[in-house]
Amino acid sequence: MILTGLIVGAVLGIVMQRGRFCVTGMLRDIFLQKSWRTFAALLIVISVHAIGLAALTSLGVIAPEYSTFAPAAVIIGGFLFGIGIILAGGCAPVPGTARAKAWSARGWPSPCTHCPHPP
pLDDT in tens, 8-27: 888 887 887 777 777 777 87
Cα–chain-centroid distance for residue 32?
22
Q: Can you tell me the distance from the alpha carbon of 16 to that of 26, in angstroms, rounded to the nearest whole number? A: 13
Q: How confident is the model at residue 116 (pLDDT cuts 50, 70, 90)?
A: very low
- The pTM is what? 0.52
